[in-house]
Structure 1
Amino acid sequence: MHKWAGIAAAAALALGAAGQAVAAQPSEKQVRELFEVMHMDRMFGQMNTQMVTVMGQAVPCVPASYWQGFIDASGSRQLLDQMVPIYQRHFTAQDVAGLLKFYRSPLGQKVITQMPVTMAEGMKVGQAWGRERGQAMIRQLQQKGTLDANGQCPASPAAAKPAVPVPGSGH
């Protein structure tokens, strides 16, 4: 009986060690190759363009040209340097090899080119949906009396009462 328990424990250790070998962390080189295949530098450029639009609307007194270089070549390198360890923590070497294979395929290349467009369209839909949903919920709260006509919390009776002077405070 003890012999079988020892064999089972040894097998479990062997399987655990094999599992660790399979789940090896990807190398920095492998992750950077993935970034290259995914055209991350191009994605950063697209992010920068979107940010220029957003910042131009948020801070109209600042010329758009100021924001153009937010993610320049140096910023792109810095950002990628910080992303390498994140990919190493969340993906195994086998995962990255699979991603490389996928992103090198015609479908993977289509995903790379179409994802920014689909995400931008999805964001617009999500913003419109969120705005409509929020307005509907506010109307519902107004109908229940939880919010006033201006969408604010009505003054509570306790807030309308004058403050009671605290003894010794001089009031």
Structure 2
Amino acid sequence: MNYKKDVPVILPKDIFIGHPKAPVTLMEYGDYECETALHDDLIVREVLQRFPGMVNFNYRHFPQLRIHQRAHKAAEAAIAAAQAGKFPQMHDLLLHNRRNLGTASLAFYARDLGIGGINFLDSLVTGRYGQYVQDDLVAGIKLGVKEAPSFFINGVKLEGRITVRNLCEHVEAACRKKSRYVHKML
């Protein structure tokens, strides 16, 4: 990976899983050490499968440092992996290994994905992507996020715990709303 200062950084707000032009954007403010992170991700994956081409997913970082000291560095590793086009793979590894997010483990995961090495480790040690994690925190707070996970559909905050059922209902409602808007424009 090349970390020259003049190379633009792919920001978390610009990293999507799913169809890039989908009419519905599901956004999560999450913490890789959160107890429910993997469970919530399985729900998100199910919804993406049920609505192919209709939903994309944007993961934003909201590490709760008072209780999860390694979540910030894990978020930095996810951003670093995104620079090499490996965000979904790193995201998956971080979620499956939420109890093993020390710097050495993060470097091992990166090496496993073929993006490790001195540049990746250097980016973690120096906090190269730390400001982007902080930017996500600030953006989340401005949107009313108080804890992770917090979910939004097309910018509207969802209240309560998500389930496959209620998230599908929210996606269907957003699709209907988008369809009415497009119909009015025609």
Structure-1-length-normalised TM-score: 0.29
Structure (1 or 2) with the greater helix fraction: 1
Kindly indicate whether structure 1 or structure 2 has the higher relative contact order, using CA contacts under 8 Å at least 6 residues apart: 2
For the pair shown, the structure with the greater C-alpha radius of gyration is: 1
Higher strand share: 2
